[in-house]
Amino acid sequence: MKEYIIHHEWKIIEEGFNPAFNRISESLFSIGNGKMGQRANFEEKYSGDSLNGTYVAGIYYPDKTRVGWWKNGYPEYFAKIINSTNWIGINVRINGEELDLAKAKVLSFVRELDMQHGLLSRRFVAELKNGNQVEVSSHRFVSINATEIGAIRYSVKALNFSGEIEFSPYLDGDVENEDSNYDEKFWVEVSRAIGGQEGYLTVETLKTEFHVCTGMWFELTQNGKKVNTEITYKNKEKYVEATQKVAVNKGDELVVEKLSSTVSSLYYSKEQLVRKAKEAIELAASAGFDVLFESHKNHWLGKWETSDIRIEGDVAAQQGIRFNIFQLNQTYSGEDERLNIGPKGFTGEKYGGVTYWDTEAYCLPFYLSTASQIVSRNLLIYRHKHLQKAIENAEKLGFTSGAALYPMVTINGEECHNEWEITFEEIHRNGAIAYAVYDYVNYTGDKEYLAPQGFEVLLGISRFWSQRVNWSQDKQKYVMLGVTGPNEYENNVNNNFHTNYIAVWTLKYTLEVIEYLKTEHPYLFEELIQKWKFNELQETERWADIIQNMYFPRDEKRGIYLQQDGFLDKDLTPVSELSPKDRPINQKWSWDRILRAPYIKQADTLQSLYLFQENFSEEELRRHFDFYEPLTVHESSLSPCVHSILAARIGYSEKSYEMYLRTARLDLDDYNNDTEDGLHITSMGGTWMAFVMGLGGMRVKAGKLTFRPFLPEKWNAYSFRVNFGGAHLEVKKNRDLFTVINHSDVDVPVTVWENESLIKGKTETAFKK
């Protein structure tokens, strides 16, 4: 836990330079645009501790698996979105001495991320060993609309000296990943060119053979006038650099404008890449930093129009929730269905930037509510395109006949994870992917997605569940053995309630979708039957039998479902009675102790109760919450949001607010001492959920929007914005009222605290509880 970030409603601000926090700040001040991401590494050389991170969406390397003891079925590699050509670099020499904040005396230092406009800036005054003092200010953004473009304005003012300053903007493709499994470099050079005010570097990933070409353009001005001194060039393998020297007088200000274009073979043929990079950089250069920024800024304002959350009376909370929204919008823009959301987005190497069930479970709701429908649809299409791989993945594990098991971790549909208890057993992820289909259709009403994509995914997953359960002669019920639930502090358990429940739910929903297809798309359905060799009668009969006869572990005395068989054999001492020296248990306890303890890493049984809360009475929800919450250690950042939403649902407002707060500033305050690895991007989706679905009590039931809002005592008011049913709504909660403002022309029926009301276009309606 660190609290060095200054509170501000729209900005993230760091004052003073603390090298020990540098990696944390590099994460916090990351910028991106869904197509690329850049940690807040310095432009000038920095020889201190740093994690360089430049990431290009979809460009990955399959890093050979490292494992202690191999098990059949383990994947060959772990895919990683890899550190790519450094486009931000500008080496600066002042009277022959290199500017390097690790070696200079830093007299002042401010770093600022303006979230409203998407601009990263930095100002510092440094004194070099030679006594020269410079004031440096840099501004940087990666364009949210012209997504191939990065732009830097880097200014150096000679405070107390005259002499010579040398600027060397460069492109460096000779980069590596810190987390490389075998200390290998992943890139080889394809081509390089440098001359005039431009440079180009094309590199290729080993194995995957992606090409990325980065172009740069630069211009140096002195006190506002272009500098025309000689430019010298350096180039070596995977590296190009241009150097320009300027004679300066004390008080002079030198400004380098450096623009970059990053294009990859994901979007262009390899032959075209250099030309495309050149076209893009020349277009950008003709516009210049200011014009590019103006357009970028306006697009950011547009994003805030539909996704902002305002909190009155708590600047820290305001900053926290906006930071989350900003990062989610930076990470995924939904234009390309081949892309997805890594747990750390583009802000670090951890988790390789690849896809987990986090996307469906924690991020989809944000994009559903705040972005165009195509954005969340593309998240679904990502999985639909991986269906064949999911079928092959299931085949590797012995399943047949089109059963699909989506991977735990993937970038291209192939499994990357290699812990058997997760890879092979944490199969509830398949349920999350099925649920996302429902979630999308329920929220958007876009039933057409079911014909055929949604159906095809559901069919594969239903077939998997149907084969994964087995009949217990002993119980005279279907059981599901050897699974790991969302609570990864249990492994290889039998009859995990959540997994069993979401499996049965998938079967039911698939049957519903089949009815829909038969009614609405009978010809298409006939074709799908052929395509998927779907033996409708036999398969659906088995599904119905499973739905009818699935076993759910239950404690009748307490009136609750049990997380898994045998849960009540544990010593059920609540978390509150653990000694602080035992926390967090995942750092203090050996794995076996964690496994036999009752402590829950993240919502597990409660995950089902949150997803399917309509199927349980409020009293039932409360009984489960009262049993499981005291046993939950929330050692996953994905946990508190679900508890927050459920707590709100059962009227535990304080608990709900407490749970909301646990992740709202997770990264800004480095709550878990791991922000240096990157930001918890997917958990930010969870925080948004906790706000909107917890505090706001928003839910879509039978295609209709409902709210059960409450206002935390510490705040004066809040408001948030959601798209729904073609309308754009802003909702506000203050101490007395809940107001729904319809900014669009479309009428929307809304239920607030059980009162149904039609909010007409361009009107607002206030509700009082």
CB 677 within 8 A of CB 343: no
Alpha helices in 154-288 (DSSP H): 273-287
Q: Is 570 in the site for its own copies (CB under 8 A)?
A: yes
Beta strands in 538-643 (DSSP E): 554-555, 560-561
Of 16, 96, 131, 398, the one binding its own copies (CB under 8 A) is 398
CB of 351 to its own copies, least distance (A): 12
Determine the Cα–Cα distance for residues 210 and 191; give it in Å rounded to an integer: 14
Q: Which is nearer to its own copies, 95 or 586 (CB)?
A: 586
Which residue reads 């759910």 in tokens? 552
Among 105, 475, 701, 714, binds its own copies (CB under 8 A): 475
Contact between 522 and its own copies (CB under 8 A)? no
Q: What is the DSSP letter of 7?
A: P
- Token pair belonging to 546: 């499973």
User: Which part of the chain contacts its own copies (CB under 8 A), choosing from 144-152, 241-249, 367-375, 464-472?
Assistant: 464-472
The torsion angle over the Cα atoms of residues 454, 457, 459 and 465, rounded to 10 degrees, is: -130
Does 494 sit near its own copies (CB under 8 A)? yes
Complex with its own copies: residue 299 or 588, whichever CB lies closer: 588
Q: How many CB atoms lie within 10 A of CB 175?
A: 18
CA distance 177 to 170: 20
Q: Which of 131, 251, 566, 761 is in the footprint of its own copies by CB under 8 A?
A: 566
Task: State which residue, 519 or 590, has the beta carbon closest to its own copies.
Answer: 590
- Single-letter amino acid, residue 611: L
Which residue from 596, 701, 762, 769 is in contact with its own copies, where contact means CB under 8 A? 596
Strands 748-752 and 704-707: parallel
Which one, 418 or 613, has the nearer CB to its own copies? Answer: 418
Q: Smallest distance from the beta carbon of 577 to its own copies, in angstroms?
A: 15
Q: Interface with its own copies by CB under 8 A: which range of 17-25, 503-511, 590-598, 761-769?
A: 590-598
Look up 237 and say whether it is catalytic. no
Residue 17 or 78: the one with the smaller Cβ distance to its own copies is: 78
Q: List the one residue from 300, 346, 382, 424 that touches its own copies (CB under 8 A).
A: 424
- Sequence-separated (6 or more) residues with CB below 8 Å from residue 740: 707, 729, 730, 731, 750, 752, 757, 759, 764, 765, 766, 767
User: Is 546 one of the binding residues for its own copies (CB under 8 A)?
Assistant: no
Q: Are 327 and 33 a contacting pair, CB within 8 Å? A: no
Catalytic residue among 43, 166, 488, 490: 488
What residue numbers does the annotated binding site for substrate cover?
A: 357-358, 601-602
| Distance of closest approach, residue 568 Cβ to its own copies, in angstroms | 4
Cα dihedral across residues 276, 282, 287, 289: positive or negative:
positive
| Angstrom distance (rounded) from CA 164 to CA 722 | 55
The single residue among 91, 306, 412, 472 that binds its own copies, judged by CB under 8 A, is 472
Q: Find the binder of its own copies among 518, 593, 701, 714 (CB under 8 A).
A: 593
The stretches of 420-485 forming alpha helices (DSSP H) are 420-423, 428-444, 453-468
625 binds its own copies (CB under 8 A): no
Query: What stretches of 678-760 show up as alpha helix (H) in DSSP?
Result: 681-689
572 binds its own copies (CB under 8 A): yes
- Does 579 participate in binding its own copies (rule CB under 8 A)? no
**Cα–Cα distance measured from residue 322 to residue 311, given in angstroms and rounded to the nearest whole number:** 10
> Quick check: 467 binds its own copies (CB under 8 A)?
no
Distance CA 101, CA 228 (A): 28
In the list 397, 451, 717, 737, the residue contacting its own copies (rule: CB under 8 A) is: 397
Kindly indicate which of the ranges 9-17, 365-373, 420-428, 613-621 contains the residues binding its own copies, using the contact rule CB under 8 A: 420-428
Let me know: does 497 contact 608? Beta carbons within 8 Å: yes
The answer to whether 5 and 12 are in contact (CB under 8 A) is yes
Fill in the amino acid letter for 497. F
Asked whether position 586 contacts its own copies by CB under 8 A, the answer is: yes
- The residues in 59-88 that bind its own copies, with binding defined as CB under 8 A, are 65-69, 71-73
Q: Which is nearer to its own copies, 5 or 550 (CB)?
A: 550
Nearer to its own copies, 471 or 753 (CB): 471
Partners of 600 in the β-ladder: 632
Q: Which residues bind its own copies (CB under 8 A)?
A: 65-69, 71-73, 396-398, 418-421, 424-425, 470-475, 479, 481-482, 491-495, 565-566, 568-572, 586-593, 595-596
Residues with a known catalytic role: 488
